[in-house]
Amino acid sequence: MRKKVLVLGGNFGGLTAALSVKHALDGDVDVTVISASDRFLFNPSLIWVPFGKRAETDITFPLAPTFEAHGVEFVHAEAQAITPLAKRVSTAAGTYGYDYLIVATGYRTDMTVLPGLEPANGVHTITTLPDAVEAGQGWRRLLDDPGPVVIGATQGTGCFGAAYEFLFNTAYQLKKAGLKKRVPLTYVTAEPFLGHFGIGGLPGGERLLKLFCKKEGIQTVTGTAMAEASPGKLLLDDGGALGFSYAMIIPPFLGQQVVAATPGLADGKGFVPVHDTYQSVAHPDIYAVGIAAAVAVPWTTAVPIGVPKTGFPTEVQARVAAANIAARIRGEEQPRRKAFGDIPAVCVMDAGNNGVMIIADRMFPPRKAGVLLPGPQAHAAKLAFEKYFLWKARKGHVRLP
């Protein structure tokens, strides 16, 4: 009998995993994708939405045609319950059985980490498309009535790249609007030093970012937790306070509720503990990739921080999981292993008309090589990659790099 592979989620991890399994078995497998969203979202471009540089239609595409073109069933519905022993997933559209399940459900934004993190207080985030659109409304109000701006990343956050990109894009947009001298700009972060990025930093990274900030007149506060936000004021755990007219804060992520609510599947944050095969520690027929997979933070900092589960490692994890499932269906041993910390770090940090390319042989130290390459070519590279990746994903060319 043909095996059934069920994939929860249709973005970076889900799309890559579903199509990779289908291709690996030359179509001789039933693959179904269940997704709460019917559109793919290129999350890295959310940094540009508040500034009016991108709209929803620029960075999304419908999932159904892509999956249908590759013989994958697509169900636009939210998963409501996972029953590992019965190997079933319940949704409003029906109940689906599986032989193998891939959890690629992404994240929930943990807004509770900072009481008062809400647009009504002038505090925005950009972790979802609706959030980014609302942050754009706040940005336009700031341009009409300029005042201090605070950009930050809270305790527990791992997505520091987005905070830095938004920071430097903010500096660029303020300069373009002729407001650089009128609008004080401050960056506040849980990182122990600038350029930690949640990956332990890279040689010369702290110095480079200090130079960037000095050049743009950005004040920085590192190694601090945020206590509370209220209209026009951000309170820090050390008793300090920052005034603002506009703030954008990146909070931590949690696993989706359906994963967190499945007994024995997830950790306390709703992420799935996995082996380096991306197979669930508790349930051998379940795999988890991307943000849904738990990653142990390999260090202790004065203020807790997370690690960045970005698109590149998500794709690697999805391919590893897909290859292992295909091998098991063929009756073979699982051939692929790749611990999260061993995945190369590849990132382009945009800065409006400038940027930094971040490349290292391993996500976590110790590393043999790691460099930061600043310059306008980084901005051009991010623009080109956005177009390339959206084309690749829409066409289902998941075998391409």
Give the pLDDT confidence of 39-53 residue by residue, as tens digits: 999 999 999 999 999
* Mean pLDDT across 390-396: 98
pLDDT at position 257: 98
* Mean pLDDT across 127-148: 98
Q: How far apart (Å, rounded) are the C-alpha atoms in residues 287 and 289?
A: 7
Question: What is the separation, in whole angstroms, between the first and last Cα of the chain?
Answer: 33
Q: Is 300 exposed, middle or buried (0-12, 13-18, 19+ CB in 10 A)?
A: exposed
The chain-wide mean pLDDT, for the chain, equals 97
CATH number belonging to the domain at 4-107+255-339, selected among 3.50.50.60, 3.30.420.40, 3.40.50.300, 3.40.50.920 = 3.50.50.60
Say if residue 268's pLDDT is above 90: yes
pLDDT at position 1: 86
Say if residue 149's pLDDT is above 90: yes
Structure tokens given for 350: 């945009």
**In angstroms, what is the C-alpha Rg of the chain?**
21
Tens-place pLDDT, residues 61-101? 999 999 999 999 999 999 999 999 999 999 999 999 999 99
* Residues facing 149 on adjacent strands: 185, 246
* Mean pLDDT across 354-368: 96
Q: Do domains 4-107+255-339 and 113-252 have the same CATH topology?
A: yes
- Provide the pLDDT confidence category of residue 58 given band limits of 50, 70 and 90: very high
In one-letter notation, the amino acid at residue 194 is L
Residues 250/125, Cβ–Cβ less than 8 Å: yes
Task: Tell me which H or E stretch contains 131.
Answer: helix 129-144
Q: How far apart (Å, rounded) are the C-alpha atoms in residues 67 and 74?
A: 6
Catalytic residue among 103, 111, 159, 343: 159
Q: How far apart (Å, rounded) are the C-alpha atoms in residues 51 and 66?
A: 30
Q: How far apart (Å, rounded) are the C-alpha atoms in residues 152 and 164?
A: 8
* Mean pLDDT across 232-256: 97
Q: How far apart (Å, rounded) are the C-alpha atoms in residues 187 and 169?
A: 13
Catalytic residue among 101, 167, 292, 347: 347
The CATH architecture that domain 113-252 belongs to is: 3-Layer(bba) Sandwich (3.50)
* Mean pLDDT across 326-341: 96
Domain boundaries, the chain: 4-107+255-339, 113-252
Q: Is the entire prediction scored with pTM above 0.95?
A: yes
213 catalytic? Reply is: no
